[in-house]
Amino acid sequence: MDEAGVANRAGQLPATFVGKGFQPEFEAVRWGAALGDSYHDMLLMDWSVFQAGITAEDEGYAGVLIDTVSDSGVRALRSRLSIPVVGPGEAAFAMAMMLGKRFTVLTMWPEWFPLYEKTLTEYGWWDRVASLRSIETRPDVTELLEGKEEIVFAKLKDEATRAIEEDGADVIVLGSTTMHQSAAYLARELRIPVINPGQVAYKMLEMQIELGLAHSKKAFPAPEVNKDADIRKGWY
């Protein structure tokens, strides 16, 4: 991802949103998947995100936030690191369950459904899911929704309305951090909460850092043999 792509993602966290004393830094993985549209890409996402994150603690960072609702690499990084590691999928779904009874994951295209099927199965939260819905529109993971607002926003509103009326959803979760530009519009247009996963996950990470909390090492034990040197050799 080029600098413009990274800047579009950093737009999720405007300066006024970031807590005092915190300074989030966005970094693209050095290689990996293109669109997350296949099990092939899912494997690359897990591996490349894990590679990018394992140096964070050594470099003095206070926490790691994965910038994808697929939560790629989260559990492996929790195993390797002692600092908090937060995934937007887990954080957003947990928030949705606090705000309502059943939530819909609203996404760009059905090729991303396996990403949510993976995480929701791992977390055991299917009984709180109203539906997975898409607007069947190929995503642009660099430009995001910029320049497409007039068409895409209306599609998202229409599909969210169907989720409410037909599926019984009482909360909408955006299915990708690349969709963050639509969050404010949908929140104004819909009569139920709309979860912007990147922002929810970031605030979850800030809170864990402030409270001195991190994942349980009983739940995510560290590897007996550290393979960092070999992993770092495999950047490309």
- Return the CATH number of 89-196, one of 3.10.20.30, 3.40.50.12500, 3.40.50.720, 3.40.50.300: 3.40.50.12500
Under DSSP, the state recorded for 225 is S
- Return the CATH number of 3-87+199-233, one of 3.20.20.70, 3.30.830.10, 3.90.1530.10, 3.40.50.12500: 3.40.50.12500
Beta strands in 108-149, from DSSP E residues, in sequence order: 129-134
Could you write out the DSSP letters of every residue in 66-84? -SSTT-TTHHHHHHH-SS-
CA-to-CA distance for 73 and 60, rounded, in angstroms? 20
Is-same-fold flag (3-87+199-233; 89-196)? Answer: yes
Domain assignments of the chain as residue spans, ordered by start = 3-87+199-233, 89-196
Interior CA angle at 203 toward 43 and 147, to 5°?
A: 70
Question: What string of pLDDT tens digits covers the 236 residues of the chain?
Answer: 778 878 888 999 999 999 999 999 998 888 888 899 999 999 999 999 999 999 999 999 999 999 999 999 999 999 999 999 999 999 999 999 999 999 999 999 999 999 999 999 999 999 999 999 999 998 877 666 776 677 899 999 999 999 999 999 999 999 999 999 999 999 999 999 999 999 999 999 999 999 999 999 999 999 999 888 888 776 54
In 3-state terms the chain splits into helix, strand, coil percentages (rounded to 5) of 45, 10, 45
